[in-house]
Amino acid sequence: MEISRTEDKISAKIKAIRARIDEAKEHDLYFYNQPIEELCGGARVRTQGREMLMFASYSYLSLIGHPKINAAANAAVDRYGTGTHGVRLLAGTLTLHRELEETIAAFKHTDDAVTFSSGYVTNLTAVSTLVGRHDVVICDKLNHASIVDGCLLSGADFVRFRHNDMADLERCLRRADSRATKLVVVDAVFSMDGDIVDLPKTVELCRQYGAWLMVDEAHSLGVLGQTGRGIEEHFGLGNVIDLKMGTLSKTIPSVGGYLAGDRDMVDLFRHASRAFIFSAALPPAQAAAAKAAFEVILEEPERVETLRRNAAHFMGGLKQMGFDTMKTETAIVPVLCGADELAFEMVRYCQRDDIFVLPVVSPAVPEGQARLRATVIAGHTPEEIDRALGVFEKAGKKVGII
């Protein structure tokens, strides 16, 4: 007998997404997966034949397309080819991987670092290597999905505290079995809201309750601190985080993720993390690009300062016009719209005026908190920021949110 699949849950999921996409397209409100055809210099890109000003890039220091980084990638292809020979542990480690990891460790002031093929995978493997059944992992409610997935995969008791609420974190730590191994994981900069974790208090609580601390620096590397070294530099705290995680796909214009920390802890990941043992290494071009990018951040420190100035300019302008930019203090600037439709309408008006910005709606953010998630980069000129502000103001008035 043939069993029909047309009414099962997989079919229902496929149909639901199809309907959502089709409806958005019908109303000219589908903005995702827009192909970028080429970089046009500065903060401009060409998409669908039009040159647009980028306000959705994570290349915070505008290092994508930097000549030194491109040259490093090309040279790596000439020397090593385009792939590795397999997984790192067996035949996939190149001298280039070690050089990159030493560069990251020096940049983050740690003994050592290890890299993986994506930031997502790095979080997944970090949490699930460190904790398991009968342990407790404690997370901020707004932590990135990759951390959440790592916690679920680990099988540890998964506890979440209210966003950046240190009293609630303490409550979770106090309630955990005092004999259990405890790991606290937080984002340094929260990816949807742009606000910064209260690191001093988090560190204090972890020490008080004997918990390990892991911090995801996806949006703080190159952004926070005088020299872009991240969250510890921002708070002037020195080396206080047990495990510093970061991506190589945002400020660093490559792909991949890293874990930096104490030598023995890093060696644990090199020999016992499943993403290291069972998945291939970063391709040579990407490893070389990443290494060169860390060097450029130190060689061209003015980029960090320009980014900070640009973020203040953009955020200040939006606030003055009456937009709600939530609690952001960084280069991620949410522009709160409320209902999903308002965010989509805003984006349509902005994109018509050649500002490349995208909406974030539920389930990525809570229902009723749909927003544009604009990002500022060092490559924006003050004139470009003013032009974008003008477009946002016109769109905001049309949609009725200011």
Ligand X SMILES: Cc1ncc(COP(=O)(O)O)c(C=O)c1O
Contact 360, 370 (CB under 8 A): yes
Distance in angstroms (rounded) separating the CA atoms of residues 119 and 364? 18
191 belongs to the catalytic site: yes
Distance in angstroms (rounded) separating the CA atoms of residues 44 and 25? 25
DSSP state of 280: B
Residue 218 as a binder of ligand X (CB under 6 A): the answer is yes
Nearer to ligand X, 110 or 330 (CB): 330
Residue 348 as a binder of ligand X (CB under 6 A): the answer is no
11 belongs to the catalytic site: no
Q: Which residue in the set 120, 323, 356, 392 belongs to the binding site for ligand X (CB under 6 A)?
A: 120
Residue 128 as a binder of ligand X (CB under 6 A): the answer is no
Residue 244 as a binder of ligand X (CB under 6 A): the answer is no
Angle at 219 between CA 245 and CA 72, to 5 degrees: 75
Contact 138, 156 (CB under 8 A): no
Q: Which residue in the set 150, 228, 257, 261 belongs to the binding site for ligand X (CB under 6 A)?
A: 257
Residue 373 as a binder of ligand X (CB under 6 A): the answer is no
Q: Residue 260: exposed, middle, or buried by beta-carbon count in 10 A (0-12, 13-18, 19+)?
A: buried
Interface with ligand X by CB under 6 A: which range of 1-9, 40-48, 116-124, 133-141? 116-124
3-state SS, residue 381: coil
Nearest of 295, 360, 289, 373 to residue 331 by alpha carbon: 373
Q: Which residue in the set 123, 164, 251, 328 belongs to the binding site for ligand X (CB under 6 A)?
A: 123
Residue 117 as a binder of ligand X (CB under 6 A): the answer is no
Interface with ligand X by CB under 6 A: which range of 3-11, 215-223, 265-273, 382-390? 215-223
Selected catalytic residue, list 234, 250, 291, 380:
250
- Minimum distance between the CB of residue 178 and ligand X, rounded to whole angstroms? 30
State the residue number with the nearest CB to ligand X.
119
Residues 6+ apart with CB under 8 A from 203: 213, 237, 240, 241
Nearer to ligand X, 143 or 176 (CB): 143
- Minimum distance between the CB of residue 6 and ligand X, rounded to whole angstroms? 35
220 belongs to the catalytic site: no
Residue 193 as a binder of ligand X (CB under 6 A): the answer is no
Nearer to ligand X, 121 or 399 (CB): 121
Residues 6+ apart with CB under 8 A from 187: 140, 142, 143, 144, 147, 197, 215, 216, 218, 219
Q: Which amino acid is at 181?
A: T
Displacement of CA 136 from its chain's centroid (Å): 24
Q: Which two tokens stand for residue 285?
A: 């071009």
Interface with ligand X by CB under 6 A: which range of 112-120, 170-178, 276-284, 393-401? 112-120
Residues 6+ apart with CB under 8 A from 256: 115, 116, 117, 118, 119, 122, 247, 248, 249, 282, 286, 287, 290
Nearer to ligand X, 220 or 389 (CB): 220
- Minimum distance between the CB of residue 208 and ligand X, rounded to whole angstroms? 26
Contact 29, 344 (CB under 8 A): yes
Residue 119 as a binder of ligand X (CB under 6 A): the answer is yes
- Minimum distance between the CB of residue 123 and ligand X, rounded to whole angstroms? 6
Question: For residue 245, which phi and psi values (nearest 5 degrees)?
Answer: -110, 145
Nearer to ligand X, 142 or 389 (CB): 142
Residue 325 as a binder of ligand X (CB under 6 A): the answer is no
Residue 234 as a binder of ligand X (CB under 6 A): the answer is no
Q: How many binding residues for ligand X (CB under 6 A)?
A: 14
Residue 146 as a binder of ligand X (CB under 6 A): the answer is yes
Contact 153, 127 (CB under 8 A): yes
Q: Which residue in the set 88, 144, 308, 380 belongs to the binding site for ligand X (CB under 6 A)?
A: 144
Nearer to ligand X, 254 or 369 (CB): 254
Nearest of 74, 76, 69 to residue 292 by alpha carbon: 69
Displacement of CA 187 from its chain's centroid (Å): 9
Nearer to ligand X, 119 or 284 (CB): 119
Residue 247 as a binder of ligand X (CB under 6 A): the answer is yes
Nearer to ligand X, 357 or 385 (CB): 357
By annotation, the residues acting in catalysis are 191, 219, 250
Residues contributing to the site for ligand X (CB under 6 A): 118-120, 123, 144, 146, 187, 191, 216, 218-219, 247, 249, 257
